[in-house]
Structure 1
């Protein structure tokens, strides 16, 4: 439709446009107040924290205050890849989670540090840039250290795992393994039982595990997060099958684990690796090598 200059319709259109502009300017202060009151939610998504607070027990590296560290291998894999992201969750002594999200950006290591759920923290999310994350094992300690960090972050340890056996008052274990638990390594009774696979056993009754081996075994158990909750299974569809039964006595606590060779879950694999490590150390010792070879067979 053609609108002629000076027509009544054109004048109405101009008046309508002027009124619309006035209404828009009048509403602008209210719109700005709404934006400020909602924390700029019209422009940002995800709230004040860029890090999800939903903890993933399978994917996150979780450091419990005095309760061990789970999924440590995830952090090692992240460092080897040199790409992607990895989250580390620290629990404070009060039980509050502190989140650290690591990611590689342009050849540097970026990290977001979230203390918004820490009752005694700064309740904020800060982002830092560092040159690298370094894994270093010392005598009785494993350290993951941040290097070349900018700003007020500074260099320091992201994570520390201690496995100093000397700091423990008591460390003993009883490991039963093999078919029907026919073999046993018992540091409490200082004995080793070998299954001869013919219905009989032979035994070392004065077994002594060298201190260096005890320290090595303790390290292996700590890195396996033996104090953490384990999902283990004793069922197996093989006949016959090997099974494991491990009791660890640490100071005044006693921890028990039982599983079979068919347990191929994450915890089953970790505990089998730790048990096989103990067995390998003991069976390579001089006293065990002096035992006669098994004469029977598995049925």
Structure 2
């Protein structure tokens, strides 16, 4: 076992028909900048990415990672970089089943490692690599992963992996439909990763209202293992959750538009603007 006796893991394969709120203890004052992992639901991963970038640029930076146990207790990992060394403080004193101690370590660097199926964050502490957080997006490891996305003006564009359907709106009154449409495995992994980074397992406050005409709207249903999640929002939603979903939508559409079948379709011929 390394210096940190836990690995902050995103256990998405455990996700079933659970849409209930995750228990969050009241005795920990959650901060907006905390990177939080709660039983497979992650928030603010961009804060950790920013910390990694600051270390690479030799800029002072701090970040806190909060990992919640199954019982709902927080385990804290504070990282502080002074331009030379990363000071790491591991604190499990709030974990009722932990050993109740604070450990401190000095580390030389931090790295983000991405593959086609996994992203991990590792500290280099005296030549020893310590994984402090990782998340997987290998769809082959899931019992089921399907989604139905409707997007664009009047949501006329569609991708439906359940019925293997692809619809492109040419914006001149015509649409083009493809049956037996399928993504490759790596494409599905990229889409799953985009959803994970948007923390789509968490409850979200989104709005479909928009004072702009015409405007783009989005409707997304995801089936993962035994669970189902559904979201609707518009391009006018500038809330934190709306911006998360916007980035996710953009990443998914990029995968769609780079698909060879999609690229073979006729180009958009009109405009709603």
Aligned counterpart, 1:176? 150
TM-score (normalizing by structure 2): 0.81
- Residue 160 of structure 2 is aligned to residue 186 of structure 1: yes
Quick one: distance in 1 between partners of 2:216 and 2:173?
Answer: 16
Quick one: distance in 1 between partners of 2:258 and 2:132?
Answer: 37
- Residue 209 of structure 2 is aligned to residue 209 of structure 1: no
Aligned counterpart, 1:268? 242
- Confirm or deny: 8 A CA contact 2:116 2:189 kept in the other structure: no
Q: Whose helix proportion is higher, 1 or 2?
A: 1
TM-score (normalizing by structure 1): 0.75
Shift of 1:89: 0.1
Q: Any idea what the Cα deviations from partners look like across 1:208-251, whole Å, max 9, x if unmatched?
A: 22222112211222222221232322222211100111111101
Partner of residue 123 from structure 1, selected from 76, 87, 100: 100
Shift of 1:60: 0.5
Q: Whose strand proportion is higher, 1 or 2?
A: 2
Partner of residue 86 from structure 2, selected from 103, 109, 112: 109
Structure number with greater Rg is 1
Shift of 1:149: 4.6
Larger RCO, structures 1/2 (Cα 8 Å, 6+ apart) = 2
Gaps of 5+ in 1: 1-51
RMSD: 2.1
Partner of residue 98 from structure 1, selected from 75, 84, 99: 75
- Using a 3 Å threshold, how does the CA distance of structure 1 residues 235 and 210 change in structure 2: closer, same or farther? same
- Using a 3 Å threshold, how does the CA distance of structure 1 residues 297 and 84 change in structure 2: closer, same or farther? closer
Partner of residue 145 from structure 1, selected from 122, 129, 141: 122
Q: Any idea what the Cα deviations from partners look like across 1:252-296, whole Å, max 9, x if unmatched?
A: 111111111112233222222221222222233333233334444
- Confirm or deny: 8 A CA contact 1:128 1:149 kept in the other structure: no
Gaps of 5+ in 2: 1-26
Greater than 4 Å deviation, 4+ residue runs: none
Shift of 1:139: 4.1
